[in-house]
Structure formats: C-alpha cells, structure tokens
Structure 1
C-alpha cells in the first residue's frame, strides 16, 4: 500500500483511515452486509458538537495563514488592542475564543468575527482573569467547542497612573491583581490543557504569549503600579518558560510601545493621555494633544505602536521553535536592549 500526504504524519493518517474503512467493511459483511445510514443517524452526526468542532477547525485551516488550524484564547478581547489581536489571528486562520469581563461586549465582538470569517470561527466568553474558577470554566468551554487549545494570549490589563506619594493602596492592588495575578492564573489554568496535548504528541509545541509593555523593560515615572506589574510579568514569563518547556509549552512576552489610538490611551475620560495630563507627567503640557506629542517624540520612529507591529512579534515567537522566555520589545527604538 502506498499513501501520500503533505508530510509523514499526513500520509500515516491517510493509511490508518483507509485501513479502518477496510476493517469496518469486513465487520459489516460478517454482520449481514453494508446498509446505508438512516437519515436520523446522519442528521445526528451532522449536528454532533464533535463534528461541528472538526468542521470549524478544518475550515479555518483550509483558509491558510500564519495561525492556520490553531485554536487561540485571547483575554481582554472585547475591544481595543485585544479585539484587534483576535481579529488578526482569525484572519490568519485561527479559531479564536475571545474572553473579557464585559460579557455583552465580548459576545458582540465574537458574533462580528463569525460574520466576517465564518460560523464557528469565534466564541465570546465572559471571564474575570482575577478569578481562577472563571478562567477554568472558560477554558473548559474552549476545549468542548474546539477540541483543544494551541495559543494563550494573556492581554487583559489595566492602568491607574499616579504618584507613589498619593496613589491609594486599593488602586495599586487593582492593577496588580489584573496585570500580575491575572497572568499567573491564566497560565495556571491553561498549562494543564497544553501539557496534556504534548503528552499525546511529543512533537507538538504550544504557545503562551503575554502582551506586556515597554514599562516592563524600563521604569515609568508616576506609574509605579503598572510598571511594577509588568516587570513582574517578565519575571513570570521567564519562570514559566523554564518550567513549562518540559510540557512542550513555549512562553514569551511581547512588550509594545505606546498604542496611542486605542482606548487605553485615547479614551476621553479615563485614557492615559488624560491621566498623565492630570498627574503632571509631562512638564508644561496643557492639553491632551501636548501629552501625545511629547510621547510620540520619545520614539526614534516618531509614532505610536500599532497592532500590525505587535502581531509581527507575536507570530515571530509562535513560529520560532528555539525561542522561549523572551521579552520582545516592539517600541520603535524607545527601549533598546543591550
């Protein structure tokens, strides 16, 4: 018998499928012959959730792209940067689970993504990243929906900028809980799923990508709670990488520069431009426009970071087989590693 495929594994799969078909036919003959499947059984199989999973993943893989056939879980995905990450992964062939505390918003985002990329390509999940039970429930739903998990993108994050001399402890605790503890809990709940898949197929590698910040590489004036949580995230990334590589899990952080056009920076009421203006982070600044201009001037490239810039780094760490524990700067030269 000769079988063909894109690689050895595909050829072996073709061989096994054919041999199974031969065995089924042989057994059927012993039991009185082959009979056509009744409509009610065929309809059951068509509607079966496992078959739906197979079709959705196969359809995504057929679309091609740098994430073809992968299942990704993205936190903080109801809007802004997280949503754009999810959209880009779907455009590159992934099935995407969007997770966010905003239940209505994340469901609407997932529905829009399905309308754009095809039914079953996305699910919206209400998730509180500071609650391990919430994360466990969401990840179990991902497995039930898509059959597994390939990529965790820990993106959910918050920021409250203020002088250390005046910042309330509750604000520090809030930032730390979401940015630092939230990342820990995401990995704690996703890692066993990823490890089990590696156990079944030792050549299989999966990815955890933390969306960190340039503030995880260099201190941030009057922004200690945020910078501290992001420095801690780099420490977690390196520690997770050392432990989880035995399970075939690569762990890396991507550290974007300032993403000026998203709500984190540009929200008119709570964005960083407004917060930094109030906190006096930019001497002499009288307007939000003054603050933005000052920050754009800090990068040698004289502009803010974009989703396209960051996704290039995300795909880099996903595609590299010899890269783990790294914090990759995407800062336009504002932060340069020595």
Structure 2
C-alpha cells in the first residue's frame, strides 16, 4: 500500500482480485475510487475508460472495444448503465471524414456509428480524447492541484521541470475531436511520457492495468499538490495576505441567515432559485484577502468550474457587521450591485455571441461572496447549488496554487462563452427532464414527522420542493429525516425541532431554512392536537393548550414566515390545515371547534393583509383523518365515539357513512389538496377554503 498526503489511496487488493477478468468492472471500481475524493476530481468532472478485446456480435471476430463514461455522468457514482461502449477502429476511422475544427461538433453524431453495445449511454465529447490514445486504461481528471499548474502563467515550464519531461503539455483547446488528435500528436512527439497536462483544463494519465492507471493518477496529483504546498507563502503571503477579519462563527451564521432571503429574492428575478451557504475556511481565506478584488473578476479556468459557477462571482459591498434588520435599506444598497452584474453578463453575452448561439440565460449571479462572512450560491435546485459552491471552492484552490507558483490565468472570455453557450451543451440542457411543479420551492410544514404533516411534506418533495421537516419529538423527527433522505436524497431535506408555541424555536427553524436553502416559499400550518370533552368537563388548561397550539401557533409561524417572504419579495403560500369543525357545530367540542373557527378566520384576515406582498393564504378543511394521526391520541377517539354513540372501532366506518361520497379520508388526500393550492394552477387564488371530508353538507362554506 502506498502512502499519500494529498489524496486518498483506497485500492483494496482483495476487492480488485474478485473482479479479475472483468475489465469493465475494474474500470467502474477504479472510477468510483477516484470520484470519491473531491481533491482528485469534482462532481461530474473528468472521464475514465478502458479498452479490451471482445467478440463482434455480428461476425464473431475479435475486436477492440473502448468502454468510457457516457455523457453527463459522474465517475464517483458511475455504474455500467452510465458507460458507452464503442468500436475503437471505427472511432479512429472517423478521422477520414473529419472536416476540420470548425466542423467538429458534427462528429458527435457520428459517434453513434461506432457504438458496440446498443444499451450504451450516449458517448460524451471526451470520447475521441481517450480513443486516439493507445493505452488500455486512461483517467482524465480535474484535480485542483494539477489545474493550478495548468492555469498558471508558467504552467508548461513548471510541468516540464516538475516531472522531468514525463508529463506532456497541450495548450487550451475546447474538448472535441481536434483535442483528441492533439493528445495523440503530443504522445507521438514525446514517447514514453506517463501523462499529459491540458492547459487551463485538467490531467490525462494512463496505465496498462486498472491499478497502474489508478496509482499513476495518484502519483501525479500527489506530486503537484506537494509542489504547491512547498511554495505556499514562499515568495508572498497567500492571496496577498489578509485584508478583512472574519466575524465569529455564530455571528457569520446569523448574518447569513438574515441576508440569504434577500439575496434569494434578487437571484430569483427570472425563476425560483435554491440557496446554499458555506463559511468554509478555504472560502474565508480567499474572500478576506487583498487579492480578492483582482482575482474574482477573472473568473475560473477549468470548463467544469465556470459551467457551474458562471463567468464570475458577485462580491458584496456590505460591511461584515452590517445591521441587516432594515430589509428595505439592505435591498437599496444591494440593488445597484445586481443591476451591474446583470449588465455585465448581458454585455458578455452580446459581445461574444455567435449567429447560432442559444438565447441568453439567467443574468443573475450563481456565486455571491460576502467578505468576513462567507459564500452563497443560488441555482435551480439544491444539488446544483451545492455542487456549484463545491466547484467554486475548487476554483479557489486553483487560484491559490497558481498564485503560489506563478500567476493565475483564466480563460479568455470568448473561450469561456464558447463553452457556456456551446450548442452541444445547450442540447444537453434541452434533454434534461422538465422541472417539476415545485422545483425551486422551499416548504416548511409544521408537525411533518408523521401523519398528515409527513404526507404533505412527502407530496411536496415528490413534486420537486425541498422541505424543512420539524416536530416536537426528536426521535420521530430523526426517523422521518432518515426516511426522506432515503426517498429523496440528502439535498432535499433539513430538520428542526419545533414547538409552534415557542417563538425562539420558530425563528430557529426559519434560520435553518435560510442557511440550508435560502429562505422559504410555502408554509403549511399543520401542527395540532384535539381534545373532546363536554362543556362541564373542559378545563382551562385544555382550553389554553388548544388555543396556544392551534391559534397562537398558526399566528406565530405565519408572522415569522411573513418576514422571510417579504424579504424575498417573490410571493409565496400559506396553507392552514383547519377542520370541518370550524364550520360544523357538534357536541363535546367547545374548545377544539372554536379554536378551529379562530384558525379559519385568522386565515381570512391574513389573506386580506398579505395579498399585497403576493402571498396567498388558503385553508384545507379535513375531517376524520384517522390514519397515522396524532389527533386521535389523548382520548379524542374515545370522546368522539362517545359523542356519536359508537365504539372507537366503529369510528372510521361511522365517519365514512355520514359523508356524501361514503369515503374514508387519508393523509394523502390532505396532501393532494395542499398541492392543489401551491402547485401553480391556483396562483391567482387566495382566501379560499377547500373541504376534504368526503362531503359533509353542514360544512359547506356557502
């Protein structure tokens, strides 16, 4: 076992031995190991391949086949279904019909004539880069340490000296057929080299076996990282030294939580965006430095970086200790910065566009830097946003390394544009699934670790939203979080312990929503309980508990959420889960029924007040939702059964029979009703009541 300081050596001989004889399995094993370390390659970046001899399914003859990561995959999670398999000879024969660099995009369609496995993923643009090299196993990676040298002004010279001529150099070239030919030419001019550095781009390494390729990659990256480490601060302080001192960690979180909804509002001017915040030490070192003002406008170098982070970040002019409580004043200060950024991006597009360029995309920044506090990112969904932040940290690492050994250089803006608005990239975007109705939306459903609340949160997550799960019961909340991560992934959920009668916990939950996702769009006041007693048996304690949870809780959560919704200024939804009991008079129900009536009218009042801010307030009135609901605990079922003269076991059937539709109401029915209000089709409706009770005529609003 080799020892490394700057990368993880993860090769397991026993595991590899179990895969012997299956080159594709070894390719996947190697790929997954390499992709698991962000210092080796970023998410979705790089490519791996292997070449092997197989039988032609038509002729039975032995042919050379290349298996390679297909378009849009990630080597860290790569499976066989994500690979493309091509005849090597056919791929190389495409050179005979290649019409030159101005026509190289047309070669992508011709890759389809080279497919060996008809179940293949679509081949990526990197396919010829691997195909024109003769090695059995090839790794194309985007390690920060290697790109730092590749993006340095003296990168070619440094590479030559550091590796004693064992690593070749190819100047920047947009990936494609021509770059594959250049890699072949570099190898022919430098026989015996162990890899090739691509200017401003990344690294190619190889080997005769999967293991040799893996170790060669680690060795080269380790050498690059060691060289950089030896030079940090050697000739000048890192990033020119510190200009701004970070505020305390807890204060950074507080500032970020207050600012995130405001930033999200600006960044969502064209479509809803989800946010991400980090105050990683690498970020703080960069954004607090003297060199920030010089380096930030340069943008990134590696294509994968600026495809995710845009041409350059937005740097805020806010003081790290600024009072952010006056939202309108903060917006007035930030508005010119966003106007300038949008103008810069528009000029970039207009200056660099071609006759057939796709239309300009969102003009807002993806990366926003707040010296002394941290970095925000905003994109269409949480995973894209988090990955964009990770990519910008990659870019920071590259700039740090380049500046330590030489001078950082970014791609010329025209080259960057040619990648960002590449027709092949546009085609990839057009092939992506259509956004779900709640994509880009953030939902907080109170009491969402079980029953109706969990059903609502699950429905929203299924429709594309990210959710803030919460509950008073920590154990139940942990179980719900595990379930949601299993269903929707870690990026779709955050959690908060929440008692809706506790203002501090409410504000903390919204703070978590702001730090995790950038704010909130949908509030569902669902948390509740029920007490069924005669007027004589009802106590003041019962009364106070019902009104505190149902009425005061709804008021406090809506009040706190309103501040966030107004800070974003992009509208939003409040949906209150009330009850048919708000409208129907029945026995043994004085406290619960009157509290529900108060919730209903409070909803009307809020709808009347918040409409000017684009916030819709609507009501769902369920009845008799028995399945997995806390409402039936604490004697409520017994109380209702007694009031209706039936047994507890007979309640579900009793409730169903008294409805016009003779239906039992389930949590999913309530979830569907909530989605009806927030899914987009009722965007011009507020102050409404939607009954989901199977049809109880006494509960009709009109």
Length-normalised TM-score, structure 1? 0.79
Aligned equivalents of 1:219, 1:260: Cα separation in 2: 20
Match of 1:258 in 2: 624
Specify whether residues 58 and 150 from structure 1 end up closer, same or farther in structure 2 by C-alpha distance, changes over 3 A only: farther
The aligned length equals 296
- Taking a change above 3 Å as real, the CA distance of residues 175 and 49 of structure 1, as seen in their structure-2 partners, is farther
Alignment counterpart, residue 325 of structure 1, candidates 687, 698, 702 = 687
Distance 1:17 1:80 in 2: 49
Question: In the TM superposition, what are the counterparts of 1:120-159 in structure 2 within 5 Å?
Answer: 120-159=491-530
Q: How does 1:23-172 map to 2 (within 5 A)?
A: 50-51=376-377, 56=382, 58=384, 64-172=435-543
Do the aligned residues in 2 keep the contact of 1:95 with 1:122 (CA within 8 Å)? yes
1:264-308 deviation line (CA, Å, top 9, x unaligned): 3655xx36323323xx2122x2x3223333222111211221233
Separation in 1 of the partners of 2:495 and 2:375? 17
Q: 1:272 to 1:57 in 2, by over 3 A?
A: farther
For 2:596, the equivalent position in structure 1 comes to: 230
- Give the corresponding residue for 1:33: none
Query: In the alignment, is the contact (CA less than 8 A) between 1:149 and 1:193 conserved in 2?
Result: yes
Change (3 A) 1:148 1:57: farther
Structure 2 partner of 1:316: 676
Residue equivalent to 1:292: 652
Shift of 1:245: 1.0
Change (3 A) 1:95 1:329: same
Instruction: Classify the secondary structure of the residue corresponding to 2:621.
Output: strand
Moved more, 148-157 or 316-325: 316-325
2:546 equivalent in structure 1: 175
**Alpha carbons 2:530, 2:632 under 8 Å: kept:** no
Partner deviation per Cα, 1:5-63 (whole Å, 9 max, x = no partner): xxx947xx99949837949xxxxxxxxxxxxxxxxxxxxxxxx8734987516489967
8 Å Cα contact 1:70-1:151 kept in structure 2? yes
* Separation of aligned partners in 2, 1:250 and 1:54: 23
Correspondences of 1:196-235 after superposition (within 5 Å): 196-198=567-569, 204-235=570-601
Q: Tell me, yes or no, if the aligned pair for 2:528 and 2:631 is still in contact at 8 Å.
A: no
Aligned-residue CA RMSD (Å): 3.0
SS in 2 for 1:120: helix
Between the aligned partners of 1:216 and 1:146, the Cα distance in structure 2 is: 34
Label 1:215 to 1:104 Cα distance change in 2 as closer, same or farther (>3 A).
same
Larger Rg: 1 or 2? 2
Q: Determine the C-alpha separation between the residues in 1 that align with 2:664 and 2:601.
A: 26
| Deviation, structure 1 residue 241 | 0.7
Match of residue 273 from structure 1: 637
Counterpart of 1:307 (choices 667, 672, 679) is 667
CA distance change for structure 1 residues 67 and 55 in 2, over 3 Å: closer, same or farther?
closer
User: Could you tell me how far 1:68 is from its partner in structure 2?
Assistant: 1.8
Q: 1:159 to 1:328 in 2, by over 3 A?
A: same
Shift of 1:221: 1.8
Structure 1 CA distance, aligned partners of 2:484 and 2:378?
17
SS in 1 for 2:616: strand
Q: Distance in 1 between matches of 2:343 and 2:469?
A: 34
Task: Find the counterpart in structure 2 of residue 38 from structure 1.
Answer: none
Query: What TM-score does the superposition give when structure 2 sets the normalisation length?
Result: 0.39
Q: Does the alignment pair 1:185 with 2:556?
A: yes
Shift of 1:247: 1.3
Range 13-22 or range 308-317, more displaced: 13-22
Contact kept? 2:455, 2:671, Cα under 8 Å:
no
**8 A contact 1:66–1:315 mirrored in 2:** no
Deviation sequence 1:167-213 (CA, Å, 0-9, x none): 11101111111001000000110001001111xxxxx3210001111
Question: Given that residues 533 and 589 in structure 2 are in contact (C-alpha distance below 8 angstroms), is that contact kept between their aligned partners in structure 1?
Answer: yes
Structure 2 distance, partners of 1:308, 1:55, is 25
> Aligned residue for 2:110?
none
1:274/1:63 CA distance change after superposition, 3 Å: farther
* Closer, same or farther: CA 120–291 of 1 in aligned 2, 3 Å: same
Say whether the 8 Å CA contact 1:111–1:122 is kept in structure 2. no
Structure 2: which 5+ runs fail to align?
Answer: 1-268, 272-309, 312-340, 350-373, 387-431
Shift of 1:69: 1.6
Query: CA 1:174/1:266 → structure 2, altered by over 3 Å: closer, same or farther?
Result: closer
Residue ranges of structure 1 left out of the alignment (5+ in a row): 1-7, 24-47, 199-203
Partner of 2:74: none
Q: 1:124 to 1:220 in 2, by over 3 A?
A: farther
Deviation at 1:121, TM superposition (A): 0.6
Partner Cα distance (2:384, 2:688) in 1: 31
